[in-house]
Amino acid sequence: MVTPIHTFLSRKWSVLVLRIVVLLSVFAAFAGTTYASSASGSVAPASKEENSQDKVVYLSFDDGPGNHTREVLDILRKEQVLATFFVLGEQAERYPEMIRAVVEDGHALGNHTFNHNYEQLYSDFKVFWKQIKQTEEVVNRITGFRPNLVRAPGGTYGHFDQSYFDLMKLGGYTVMDWNVDSGDSKRKGVPAKEILRNATKLPAGARSVIVLMHDGGAHAETVKALPGIIKYYRDQGFRFDTMKASDQPVQFRIDSNGKYKSRKAPSTEWIAEHVQENSNLWLAGKELKVEIGLAAATLKQGEFRVEDQRIMVPLRTFMKKFGGSARWNAETRTATAVWKDRIIHADSISGELTTKSANQINDRTTEGVVQSQGGTIWVPLRELMEHMGASIDSLKANEKEWIVKASVPLAAASSMYVDKMI
């Protein structure tokens, strides 16, 4: 049977394949060190890309979008820093343009339930689940994807029992707490100086830090403290990154004496109908690995889709994975990507994908292929790679992933290898 992804690659290409055998001896020590939270015993995520010398900080903002989200985004853009926003469904409905702005700037989105009401959320898992699905649908309508990164309002400590953890994992979600609390929500009007002091109070020897802050509600003082927080971590040699559902979960320990200890778990029938089926949203499909010359990147579920017998990828995400960049122009509704010597324009109004190259020989235009959904520009993978100067050679598949291989001219391949080594 011919599947859509096979149809996508069904054309025949006459390609001179340049095979380069590179012998590398790479010694990498990946850091899996974890650090206890001063409050509840959380640990920071150990990124697969971290080595023993790496220090990473994950800035996170809860309860938005709100009145201060734009100010936060402006500071992050100025400082060229990425963050993770755990959004409320009711706020996302109120400020959809802010959700789009978060995505357009390359930040990560997480699910923070719909209304943040503790008594409702933690009285019954089925209520918590309903709110997660509500917010998920809201975000999907705005952006075109479903976040499976979740943060519980107030954190999991004292709220989650083992059944909450187990059912969220079974449903395909990753729950993330924190290990540094800025304290900006401890009381009304916490001053910026105190927020800065708390947000930079690290666990001893910490090399991986998740900082809790808020952009929803009355948090003008958090905005004032943010530049100082960024400066501190930058001066300490930390790099900034976004949280991912594939990261090691960061979860507080369970409070066995919590007020919800007598809470009953959902029935087996309800779990089978709602939770187990839900995991298919992320687990049923394969990942997509793309190899361009010597460079390779993996797109997970939600980072690509198959429609009309074409693989569609988000332009900004794809370019970032391969060392390029992309910028959105709200006035012209056009995204401009830069990769090597090529400038690629994706016009969401006309649907045209055009490329200008340094030598002008490789200039090209493809009509009717660009889509805009929820502020994200989507383009067909094959056409985008051709505009990048790559030619697709083959498709292979295993139980975990599809693998698309493409070749590039020798000079470009060498350049890509050098880029990865620098």
State the CATH number of the domain containing residue 322: 3.30.457.10
CA nearest neighbour of 376 among 305, 307, 313: 313
CA-CA distances (angstroms) from residue 360 to 174, 342, 351, 355, 363?
Answer: 46, 9, 22, 9, 5
**Would strands 376-380 and 310-314 be described as parallel, antiparallel, or unpaired?**
antiparallel
pLDDT exceeds 70 at position 12: no
Q: Is residue 29 part of a domain?
A: no
Q: Are residues 178 and 290 in the same domain?
A: no
Boundary of a domain, candidates 282, 315, 331:
282
Q: Is residue 19 part of a domain?
A: no
How many domains does the chain contain in total?
2
Please give the pLDDT value at position 309. Answer: 56
Q: Is residue 30 part of a domain?
A: no
pLDDT digits (tens, 9 = 90+) for 193-246: 999 999 999 988 888 999 999 998 899 999 999 999 999 999 999 999 999 887
Boundary of a domain, candidates 282, 315, 347:
282
Q: Are residues 392 and 248 in the same domain?
A: no
Q: Are residues 342 and 404 in the same domain?
A: yes
Residues 113-120 have a mean pLDDT of: 95
Q: Are residues 170 and 215 in the same domain?
A: yes
CA distance 95 to 89: 10
pLDDT exceeds 80 at position 138: yes
Q: Are residues 142 and 93 in the same domain?
A: yes
Mean pLDDT of the chain: 83
Of 79-88, 142-151, 334-343, the range with the lowest mean pLDDT is 142-151
pLDDT exceeds 60 at position 26: no
Record the tokens describing residue 109, joined without a space.
């989105």
Boundary of a domain, candidates 247, 282, 317:
282
Q: Is residue 8 part of a domain?
A: no
CA distance 61 to 93: 17
Residues 10-37 have a mean pLDDT of: 34
pLDDT digits (tens, 9 = 90+) for 248-285: 888 999 987 777 878 888 999 999 989 987 876 764 45
Q: Are residues 406 and 371 in the same domain?
A: yes
Q: Are residues 339 and 247 in the same domain?
A: no
Helix, strand, or coil (residue 228) = helix
CA distance 58 to 65: 18
pLDDT exceeds 70 at position 413: no
Q: Are residues 337 and 378 in the same domain?
A: yes
Q: Are residues 361 and 219 in the same domain?
A: no
Residues 151-164 have a mean pLDDT of: 95
Q: Are residues 250 and 298 in the same domain?
A: no
Q: Are residues 271 and 355 in the same domain?
A: no
Packed helices 220-235 and 192-199: angle between N→C axes, nearest 10 degrees: 40
Of 13-17, 97-101, 178-182, 228-232, the range with the lowest mean pLDDT is 13-17
Q: Are residues 207 and 244 in the same domain?
A: yes
pTM to 2 decimal places? 0.63
CA distance 375 to 144: 9
Residue of higher predicted confidence among 395 and 201:
201
Please give the pLDDT value at position 282. Answer: 60
Please give the pLDDT value at position 71. Answer: 97
DSSP secondary-structure letter at 187?
S
Contacts of 105 (CB under 8 A, 6+ apart): 73, 76, 77
CA-CA distances (angstroms) from residue 317 to 5, 28, 297, 300, 405?
Answer: 20, 26, 11, 11, 18
CA-CA distances (angstroms) from residue 316 to 276, 323, 324?
Answer: 32, 11, 9
Which residues span the domain enclosing 336?
A: 285-421
pLDDT exceeds 50 at position 310: yes
